[in-house]
Structure 1
């Protein structure tokens, strides 16, 4: 984050282990990362077929943004 602008979004960890979860994450996480960069915040649309992944991603991103704002 530079000032109050996102400069990079990178998913450090996501659930894995079963085939369905891995398939969902393989298409949902890149879409969520791209949307986060465009939006510059955690107000992201839910990726179709990845409701829980989208919700968790938004919550995690908001927590990271809150922590970054508190660190200033």
Structure 2
């Protein structure tokens, strides 16, 4: 995960890696990851909704996002 924090708010979020390999996984991620990125900036936290049909992707995204937010907080991001 890459997050951008400005003024104490999440200005952007982007998944740098996600599972791939088979067509179905690629299709799910192409649909879910951009929505999760948008949801993150709207929610301003890792408390984001699961994308329907992408439970595993959403759960992994949330865990990675929380780790990135924790690291930013420890680094004193503003």
TM-score by length of 1: 0.95
**Alignment partner, residue 30 of structure 2:** 26
Q: How many residues are paired up? A: 72
Aligned pairs (5 A) from 1:28-67: 28-67=32-71
4+ long deviations beyond 2 Å: none
Q: Higher relative contact order by CA 8 Å / sep ≥ 6: 1 or 2?
A: 2
Structure 2 unmatched ranges of 5 or more: none
Alignment partner, residue 20 of structure 2: 16
TM-score normalised to the size of structure 2? Answer: 0.88
Shift of the alpha carbon at 1:37? 0.7
Structure with more of its chain in strand, by fraction: 2
Greater helix share, 1 or 2?
Answer: 1
Q: Unaligned regions of 5+ residues in structure 1, if any? A: none
Q: Give the CA deviation at 1:4.
A: 2.1
